[in-house]
Chains A and B, each alone.
Chain A
Amino acid sequence: MHKYLPHTEADIKAMLDAIGVERIEDLFAEIPDSLKDFEMDLPKAHSEMELRKHFRELAKMNQPLIPFAGAGAYDHYTPSIIPYLIERQEFLTAYTPYQPEVSQGTLQYVFEYQTMITELTGMDVSNASMYDGATATAEAMFLAQATRKKNRVLVSATLNPYVRDVIDTYAHAKGIEVVTLPEVDGASDFSALEGSLDDDTAALIVQSPNVYGVIEELEGVKETLKQKKALLVVNQDPSTLAYLKPPADHGADIVVGDAQPLGIPLYFGGPYIGYMAATKKLMRKMPGRICGATEDTDGRRAFVLTLQAREQHIRRDKATSNICSNQSLMALFVTIYLSLMGVKGLKDVQKTSYNHAHYLYENLKGLKQFEAPFERPFFKEFTLRTTLDAEKMNQALKEKGYLGPFAHGTYDASKADLVTFAVTEKRTKEEMDELIRILGAL
């Protein structure tokens, strides 16, 4: 018997006898021999000690860099109490029981998370969270399509290209036509909006601050969309809502994004967490789950999963989405972060990030290698045009221990001279000055 395979020879024989085959290989008789005839080149099994040594050596290959890149993931500080709390086994290893109301603690923090998301976005309802910002945005497209029963969606050219990729993938599967709203000077060209709308348009998806870091001017957009009853979907880094006007004030119908900037470390690209908030009108069609507060038979405050029956259980074929899960542990992470920070703490972090970004912007703009391609308001991320080769520049920065700016040439060759720097409260003046010095010498 193998230590990870609990069946004894006798167990296996009993099972084979019960179904009437002689050998395990007989179960795979359907698979042609030509597909079975290969050898796997696997190393020998390791002991625990050998494995630990192996992974320690792999870990040594990591090169810690000081990041000045963002484009959707931001290096904010994680207070140490958060990992300590979320690693409690009641949270870390628990799987949602199939009678979710048994886990009142889980439902309560999800309820608190939803409350915080609605407070930040100004929207009526938030769901219990989604896998990440990109899939949440694609799910918002589905929600708009299902509500408006229209198969065309406008997406601003200034949306993060990786989010756009996910939208395109989702749209392809559902036969949704995705049309790009053009950009001008680093922002969505809303003067082209009226002409881009038609009777089949379900929604406009726009990101603010956008992929260039520019804060989109959303005033009046909703009024134009209303002419064709198209919905306004805003993708926004929720941490910027510490200062920026909530999307609800611009008439947003659905607000989505990645909540990673609310203190979740960069890790190696995940786990992050998508959020989705909407108007009350869309509540019943919203994908995912919603936790609600109610009273039990003794009149005590209690939490339940609510508004999921129709879409996920009774009418699955009619559902907007069949997502039946959420990113619960990361929702807890965000909830603890926001609770610790409070309004003042969140504002302090974002104000410092804003000030650092503007300091770096002013200084880099003064170098001969850089110029501002457009004059637009930005938050903690900004775009410059460079005379340097972006790839070589980032290679040089990497050798000095810095993760250089997001290079737009990586997805669009016509934007090869545009690079976007992100700066958080964690970047010190010394780090920024060193970056300026290195870049100035290239």
Chain B
Amino acid sequence: MKVPKNLYYTDTHEWVKVDGDKALIGITDFAQNELGEIVFVELPEESDPVEKGEEFSAVESTKAASEIMSPVSGVIVEVNNELEEAPELLNEDPYKYWIVKIELEDESELETLKDADAYQKLIEE
């Protein structure tokens, strides 16, 4: 199970990649593997505000449907519309295909997230 070093992680299996004052959000390799074949990604709208811990998207697979919680607070500045037609991309490369880009409201929130080692430990449990 891949857990890249340069990302932040949540207990609910989202990853965060920080890029200046913005962050890309996606789901982890562990998450896609648990869900199985992903058939639909419910995307939010650009410029919608989100709170840390708030559900902003949902991923549906052939065996389950799961909410995606925002790891950080801010405003959604970009949505990966590619996933609308090709949701299976999240299975193919979960770290390449992000779901949304969020403009960070409070960078200190990142400190509450897990690093790769801590997340690795979580999924091994």
Q: Which residues of A are at the interface with B, using a C-beta cutoff of 8 A? A: 229, 284, 309-310, 314-315, 318
Besides A284-B42, A310-B65, A318-B67, 9 more A-B contacts (Cβ < 8 Å) are A229-B45, A284-B40, A284-B60, A309-B65, A310-B58, A310-B60, A314-B64, A314-B65, A315-B65
Q: Which residues of B are at the interface with A, using a C-beta cutoff of 8 A? A: 40, 42, 45, 58, 60, 64-65, 67
Q: What is the distance, in angstroms, from A275's C-beta to the closest C-beta of chain B? A: 24
Q: Which residues of B contact A315 (CB under 8 A)?
A: 65
Q: What is the distance, in angstroms, from B76's C-beta to the closest C-beta of chain A? A: 12
**Ranked 7 nearest A-B pairs via Cβ:** A310-B65, A314-B65, A315-B65, A310-B60, A284-B42, A284-B40, A314-B64
Q: What is the distance, in angstroms, from B53's C-beta to the closest C-beta of chain A? A: 15
For residue A315, which residue of chain B has the nearest CB? B65
Q: What is the distance, in angstroms, from B79's C-beta to the closest C-beta of chain A? A: 12
Q: Which residues of B contact A314 (CB under 8 A)?
A: 64-65
Rounded to whole angstroms, the CA-CA distance of A315 and B60 in the bound complex is 11
Rounded to whole angstroms, the CA-CA distance of A318 and B55 in the bound complex is 11
Q: Which residues of B contact A309 (CB under 8 A)?
A: 65
Q: What is the distance, in angstroms, from A140's C-beta to the closest C-beta of chain B? A: 19
Q: What is the distance, in angstroms, from B80's C-beta to the closest C-beta of chain A? A: 16
For residue A229, which residue of chain B has the nearest CB? B45
Rounded to whole angstroms, the CA-CA distance of A309 and B60 in the bound complex is 10
Q: What is the distance, in angstroms, from A386's C-beta to the closest C-beta of chain B? A: 49
Q: What is the distance, in angstroms, from B71's C-beta to the closest C-beta of chain A? A: 19
Rounded to whole angstroms, the CA-CA distance of A315 and B63 in the bound complex is 12
Q: What is the distance, in angstroms, from A144's C-beta to the closest C-beta of chain B? A: 13
Between A and B, 12 residue pairs with Cβ closer than 8 Å are: A229-B45, A284-B40, A284-B42, A284-B60, A309-B65, A310-B58, A310-B60, A310-B65, A314-B64, A314-B65, A315-B65, A318-B67
For residue A285, which residue of chain B has the nearest CB? B42
Q: What is the distance, in angstroms, from B121's C-beta to the closest C-beta of chain A? A: 29
Q: What is the distance, in angstroms, from A179's C-beta to the closest C-beta of chain B? A: 22
Q: Which residues of A contact B45 (CB under 8 A)?
A: 229
Q: What is the distance, in angstroms, from B122's C-beta to the closest C-beta of chain A? A: 24
Rounded to whole angstroms, the CA-CA distance of A7 and B67 in the bound complex is 50
Q: What is the distance, in angstroms, from B88's C-beta to the closest C-beta of chain A? A: 16
Q: What is the distance, in angstroms, from A310's C-beta to the closest C-beta of chain B? A: 5
Rounded to whole angstroms, the CA-CA distance of A318 and B45 in the bound complex is 19
Q: What is the distance, in angstroms, from A156's C-beta to the closest C-beta of chain B? A: 25
Q: What is the distance, in angstroms, from A57's C-beta to the closest C-beta of chain B? A: 57
